[in-house]
Chain A
Amino acid sequence: MALLAVEDVTRRFGGIVALTDVSLALEKGEIVGLIGPNGAGKTTLFNLITRLYRPNSGCILFDGKDLTRTPAYRIVRLGIARTFQNVVLFQNMTVLENLLVGAHSQLRPFSERRGRKQAVEMLEYLKLGDLGERLPGGLPFGTLKRVELARALVAKPTLLLLDEPAGGLNHEEVGELAEVIRRLRRDFDLTILLVEHHMQLVMSVCDRVHVLNFGRKIAEGTPAEVQANPDVIEAYLGAETVDAA
């Protein structure tokens, strides 16, 4: 059984259809890429899986359980954690406190000490060791992305959703990121769904790739298959080229 199964999901905003009958499935332990031009509906799908939005039709099964009736704050307790495209950290809380909020679903009363210890270990794991007492403001963007990743990981998810982890990173950082993502899967036994524009990253870490365009899924397969798919090439290069041909 697939760990995550999105089945025929449609989501409209007013008259605009953001997603039409989209289906995809993730097997346990996979790293799956979700790509597509701007406005294709990638982040909308993330927001549906994390229940920030509710689908108009279709269902989303995680570990066999339908998420469409689960309140958003319970999603992380079931084992799905995420990062955000524009990095959303708690600005008036220290880096360590940000992680402790991330561990909210893991902490019980009087488990404060254990929670702090695990948060500190996570900071060290992501090479953020000496930043625990700092506020996020003023830290470099790449560092903030790692803090957000750390906040997602302390929730001990089984499925990790990464929304453009390479966005805003320099060339060297993207190289490191690919290594980090592979290491995450190994060290935390994770399944990862990744929205990304950075094709090199997608091609180097993903086992399979799904392609969205105008809210519909137009292709899926291995990175190599998807790259060779004429529909995908058309979506990325634009319809005009085809008309002219």
Chain B
Amino acid sequence: MRRWASPVLQGLVLAAAVVLIVLLPRFTSEFRLGQFTYVGIYFIALLGLNILTGYNGQISLGHAAFMAIGGYTAAILILGQKGFELAGHDPAQVIPEHGMRALFTIPIAGLVTGVIGYLFGLPALRLAAVSLALATLAVAVSFPALAKRFEHLTGGGGGLSLPLPHAPFGWDISTPHWLYYEAWVTAAILFVVAWLLVRGRVGRAWRAIRDGEIAAVSSGVSPAVYKTLAFGISAAYAGVAGALFAIQVSYINPDTFPVTLSILLLASVVIGGLSSLSGVIVGALVLEFLPIYAQAPPVLHLNFAKQAGPVVFGFVLMVIVLLVPGGMASLIRRITRPLTAALARKA
């Protein structure tokens, strides 16, 4: 009986979210807009991580490293050999001579990171849950050191400074506005892609492997194909998010995407709700704003230490895991269920 009411309500909420995102720049300061740009970027990374962990059941504690790969890919392509030389770096020969427009580097960053993620998925096939989490964590831990080592590609510990981005094609909007739209239009496209993937044959194969690999195999699902596919797509999302992040801050160094970010990403997916695409928006909001408000809570006129963020984050995570294991998405569903039921009854 709820069969139609629930999609209708979902459609309305989605439409409201789109209107809110489109209209937000009219009502808010450029500083706040910057924060909401980060929300969009995190949203993309969390969509990808949720595909891998929520839908396919593979835990990754290394997604910050995938974001870093995307960020560096974008930065290298934006600068080109000329840009490296201008900044006083000695560029590697593989880097193209001329820099690219920032916008065009985003899909390339996604593609490059996706391929690397796919390749990483091949050995990961042999690892069960905890081992896989540790293997991905190892990647995240070692990435900053690797980035410092390959100085001709990454600019070493000093990092790479990027030219300040501008709106392309002669659009007359400020840089923060442009970056905001760039992030959210990308997020919208990738949301639709994720939704299409998850609801059909591919998404069911991912979930079937998560719920029972042997029964999935006997139903004709190849774990090797679908697990590596999930890894590749998930990494591509992280790569796009990393590219947007690097463009947003106009700078990248080995510590831009620290190990703690990997852990916070996974925690945010759980807080938002595993295998829920709409929960991801809650996760992204939490990831951006919780550390800020934990340090300086609104209304209360208190100022806590910088470490308050992770502490509150950990506390929220514990509360969610204990009280609402399905994450905020399941909580929202539980609250709206009477409403959808009422709607259905009225019809």
The answer to whether A and B belong to the same complex is: yes
Give A residues with C-beta under 8 Å from B.
Answer: 50, 52, 71-77, 81-82, 84, 88-93, 97, 100-102, 104-105, 107, 109, 112, 133, 151, 155
Chain B's interface: helix, strand, loop or mixed, by majority?
A: helix
Contacts A73-B221, A104-B221, A155-B220; A90 near B201 (Cβ below 8 A): no
How far, in angstroms, from A196 to B138 measured CA to CA in the complex? Answer: 48
B312 at the interface (CB under 8 A from A): no
Contacts A88-B214, A90-B212; A112 near B219 (Cβ below 8 A): no
- Interchain CB contact under 8 A, B204 and A73: no
Further 19 A-B residue pairs, CB within 8 A, beyond A74-B220, A107-B201: A52-B217, A72-B218, A76-B219, A81-B218, A82-B218, A88-B214, A88-B215, A89-B215, A90-B211, A90-B216, A91-B211, A92-B275, A93-B207, A100-B204, A104-B205, A104-B219, A104-B220, A133-B3, A151-B219
Residues of B close to A90: CB separation below 8 A: 207-208, 211-212, 215-216
- Interchain CB contact under 8 A, A101 and B222: no
Number of residues on chain B facing chain A (CB within 8 A): 21
Q: Which of A74, A92, A133 has the most CB of B within 10 A?
A: A92
- A and B contact pairs by CB, cutoff 8 A, 8 listed: A73-B217, A74-B220, A88-B212, A90-B208, A90-B212, A100-B201, A104-B219, A104-B220
How far, in angstroms, from A93 to B222 measured CA to CA in the complex? Answer: 18
Q: Which of B214, B215, B275 has the most CB of A within 10 A?
A: B215
Residues of A close to B204: CB separation below 8 A: 93, 97, 100-101, 104
How far, in angstroms, from A73 to B218 measured CA to CA in the complex? Answer: 6
Would you give the shortest CB distance from A92 to chain B, in whole angstroms?
6
Closest 8 CB pairs of A and B: A105-B220, A90-B211, A76-B220, A88-B215, A73-B222, A101-B208, A104-B220, A72-B217
Give B residues with C-beta under 8 Å from A.
Answer: 3, 200-201, 204-205, 207-208, 210-212, 214-223, 275
The residue in chain B whose Cβ has the minimal distance to the Cβ of A115 is: B201
Would you give the shortest CB distance from B301 to chain A, in whole angstroms?
45
Q: Which of A93, A104, A151 has the most CB of B within 10 A?
A: A104
How far, in angstroms, from A68 to B214 measured CA to CA in the complex? Answer: 18
- Interchain CB contact under 8 A, A73 and B211: no
Residues of B close to A52: CB separation below 8 A: 214, 217-218
Residues of B close to A84: CB separation below 8 A: 214-215, 218
- Interchain CB contact under 8 A, A71 and B222: yes
- Interchain CB contact under 8 A, B207 and A77: no
- Interchain CB contact under 8 A, B201 and A104: yes
